[in-house]
Amino acid sequence: MGSQERRARERNATRERILAAARDLFVRDGFEKVTLRRIAEAIEYTPAALYVHFEDKRALMAALCEEDFGLLREAMRTGDAIEDPVERVRAIGAAYVDFALAHPHHYTFMFMTAWPTPEEGERLDAVDETKMIRHGNPDEDAYAFLRHAVAACIEQGRFKEPYTDVGVVTQMCWASAHGVVSLFITHGHDPWVDFRSPQRSAHLLLDAVLDGMVATPRVAGAGAATPEAHS
């Protein structure tokens, strides 16, 4: 019977309707306005109905972001074709920044929300696998992607000492992009700080960092270390 499949399809459809309603509120009003009751109301359901499709609110939000963070993964592959690893890192950073600024609420949720640390008691057992994967995977992907590009830089001897630890350098690059966009998201509209274009700041910062790390800043290379490349 295809009826089972139809049921599964219907189930998935309402799941998607829930996520769509949530995304609607999320993108428009931000994280704290997304309420199970509001989501339910939007699709003319009862709040309790959402628990048929998601374990809890956090799982719902995670699923929502996981969907949209496919875009980040895809965007970061922009640099795939670039053979020069330093330029690839630069391209990845630019894509990352563009994504963050295009989806500030998602970005806030995924990269700027400190989840309650597993409280001593609840270790491997209580924290079930799906939760870990849901939360960790999307950006692990992105992280691994950046790390791979950084590793290529180091393997080719493009970075001088002491910038030869893949983990540390990856975090430095990540932090450069994250630092600019997250500051802009939280303080970009504060009146007391004259915020310029975050894109420009981020590009300049990544340029400066890479310029500071490359072994031979102004040698033939591939034009890798000329900050004027971005305006």
66-95 positions binding its own copies, by CB under 8 A:
none
Q: Name which of 203, 159, 147, 146 is nearest 180 in CA terms.
A: 203
Q: What angle, 0 to 180 degrees and rounded to 10, lies between the N-to-C axes of helices 57-76 and 129-155?
A: 20
Q: How far is the CB of 185 from DNA (least distance, A)?
A: 21
Phi, psi of 218 (to 5 degrees): -120, 45
Q: 9, 28, 29, 37: which one contacts DNA (CB under 7 A)?
A: 37
CA 132, CA 96: separation in Å to the nearest integer?
23
Out of its own copies, DNA, none, what residue 68 binds, judged by CB under 5 to 8 A for its kind, is none
- Interface mask (CB under 7 A) for DNA, residues 44-83, using x and -? xxxxxx-xxx--xxx-------------------------
127: tokens are 């924290």
Q: Is the peptide bond before 191 cis (omega within 30 degrees of 0)?
A: no
Q: Name which of 150, 153, 154 is nearest 142 in CA terms.
A: 150
Considering the rule CB under 8 A, would residue 121 count as an interface residue with its own copies?
A: no
Q: Backbone dihedral region of 223: left (phi > 0), alpha (psi from -120 to 50 degrees) or beta?
A: left
Considering the rule CB under 7 A, would residue 14 count as an interface residue with DNA?
A: yes
Residues forming the site for its own copies (CB under 8 A):
30, 32, 108, 111-117, 132, 135-137, 140, 143, 161-163, 165, 167-168, 171-172, 174-180, 182-183, 185-187, 189-196, 200-202, 204-205, 207-213, 217, 227-228
Q: Which residues bind DNA (CB under 7 A)?
A: 1, 3-4, 6-7, 11, 14, 34-38, 40, 44-49, 51-53, 56-58
